[in-house]
């Protein structure tokens, strides 16, 4: 599956269980949180879903394709600026840095910008917990109104545009 984009909603429900005997989310979590595997967005899909690809961390800088086109807004740029330096931050830390320069940005708009950057292939996370929360949150039109709103997930977001040089990408460090 290295580098093969699959719908994020199908990765753990269809793809990995059909390829890995006894698959459970903890298996992928162990690989991503230890820094052995990097996941990257590979384009948005309708709703809250998107294309996702997995890469071995040691070869990711060589295999990651260029980021997908995205017209960067000032909020997108503020998120990227917050992650400048190549280390990971929790969403709350990103929000604090963005709000230091742009206190008018609503949290929902900031979260949306993070996901747009993620699906475009510019951000990643050291776990799939935020992705699981997004896909299971029911925050789209037509979803049940009785579902509780989930809090912002606690994984560390990192930039995939670290100092690998112009036009090349590398995974964020796991510090």
Q: Mean pLDDT in the chain?
A: 82
39 forms beta bridges with: 54
Please tell me the distance from the alpha carbon of residue 52 to that of residue 132, in angstroms, as a whole number. Answer: 12
Instruction: Enumerate the domain spans of the chain.
Output: 6-159
pLDDT band at 138 (very low <50, low <70, confident <90, very high): very low
Q: What is the pLDDT of residue 155?
A: 61
pLDDT digits (tens, 9 = 90+) for 143-152: 322 233 444 4
Higher pLDDT, 101 or 79: 79
Please tell me the distance from the alpha carbon of residue 142 to that of residue 131, in angstroms, as a whole number. Answer: 20
Please tell me the distance from the alpha carbon of residue 95 to that of residue 19, in angstroms, as a whole number. Answer: 37
Which helix (H) or strand (E) is 55 found in, with range?
Answer: strand 50-56
């Amino acid at each position: 599956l290295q580098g093969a984009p699959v719908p994020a909603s199908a990765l753990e429900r269809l793809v990995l269980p059909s390829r890995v005997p006894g698959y459970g989310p903890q298996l992928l979590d162990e690989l991503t949180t230890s820094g052995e595997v990097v996941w990257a967005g590979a384009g948005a899909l309708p709703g809250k879903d998107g294309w996702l690809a997995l890469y071995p961390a040691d070869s990711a800088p060589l295999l990651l394709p260029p980021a997908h086109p995205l017209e960067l807004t000032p909020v997108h740029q503020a998120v990227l600026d917050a992650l400048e330096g190549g280390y990971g931050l929790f969403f709350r830390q990103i929000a604090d840095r963005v709000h230091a320069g742009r206190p008018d940005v609503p949290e929902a708009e900031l979260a949306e910008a993070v996901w747009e950057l993620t699906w475009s292939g510019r951000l990643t996370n050291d776990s799939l917990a935020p992705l699981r929360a997004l896909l299971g949150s029911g925050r789209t039109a037509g979803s049940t109104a009785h579902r509780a709103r989930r809090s912002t997930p606690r994984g560390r977001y990192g930039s995939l545009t670290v100092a690998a040089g112009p036009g090349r990408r590398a995974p964020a460090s796991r510090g």
